[in-house]
Amino acid sequence: MKKKDVYYFEKLGDDFDGFMSAYDVSRRVQLIFKQLLPKTSLADNPGILEIGCGTGRISSHLREASDNFTVNDISQKFTARVAKQFQCHAWAGDIVKLTGRGEEFDLIVSSECIEHTPDPYAALANMRRLLKKDGWIVITTPNKIWYPVLTVAHLLKIRKFDGMEVWTWPSQTKRWLKEQGFKKIYFSGCHLFPWQIPFVKKILPFFDQYGHRLYPIMINYGFSAQKG
């Protein structure tokens, strides 16, 4: 099997946003800011780190929540560009390898990033290390139950994306969080069906309201959890 390129996104350059669905991003924004973040309790002007900022689709919303905001991406170019756009701190690098002194942030948010690392749980473990005690983590990522559909899409050349993809099971992630001492764990999700199906976007938001129940079978799942 061909080795996947972890720098694939950066090589896409200005075509990066062409691989992003505006609908998908809007639903993930709703998942993060309407369902996952309200479960957290943060101090005023919290230290926030976004992992995998890309071109800043989620960053614009997080920037409004704090002046103490840091963006990260494996791409030096994307990190610098987003930091300049939103006048915030930049910290480029691979989340699995970021060093830092630990316990620096009140909140770490990452949307559709950990699946593009060789080991999503190593990425989460380093995020945990960077969190302050009682700090919060908020993540969205694809659900492995849908991975066979992805495989078929690649075989039929329907999906042209060729970057690294390591999807996870929600149940496995929940177990990992408990083993790592996280508390107040809350799961939800979005996209009960592929949004690419004609006309399905009209009904998907209805099911997203019940993401806290349907997430085990949804395309994307998300969670918030507090470091113990």
Q: In the chain, which ranges are continuous DSSP H helix?
A: 8-12, 22-30, 59-63, 76-86, 120-130, 147-155, 170-179, 204-208, 211-214
Superfamily of domain 8-38+45-227: Vaccinia Virus protein VP39 (3.40.50.150)
CB hemisphere CA count around 198 (13 angstroms): 0
Residues with Cβ < 8 Å from 123, sequence gap 6 or more? 51, 95, 96, 110, 113, 114, 117
Q: Do residues 184 and 226 lie in contact, with contact meaning Cβ atoms separated by under 8 Å?
A: yes
pTM of the prediction?
Answer: 0.90
Residues 102 and 220: their CA atoms lie apart, in Å, by: 29
In the chain, domain spans? 8-38+45-227
Q: Do residues 74 and 92 lie in contact, with contact meaning Cβ atoms separated by under 8 Å?
A: yes
**176-179 long-range contacts, CB within 8 A, separation 24+:** 176/121, 176/124, 177/223, 177/225
Per-residue confidence of the chain (228 residues) as pLDDT tens digits? 344 554 445 554 555 555 678 899 999 999 999 999 988 888 888 999 999 999 999 999 999 989 999 999 999 999 999 999 999 999 999 999 998 878 899 999 999 999 999 999 999 999 999 999 999 999 999 999 999 988 787 676 666 666 788 999 999 999 999 999 999 999 999 999 998 888 999 999 999 999 999 999 999 999 999 999
- The DSSP result for 152-177, as a single string, is HHHHTT-----B----B-HHHHHHHH
Q: Do residues 143 and 150 lie in contact, with contact meaning Cβ atoms separated by under 8 Å?
A: no
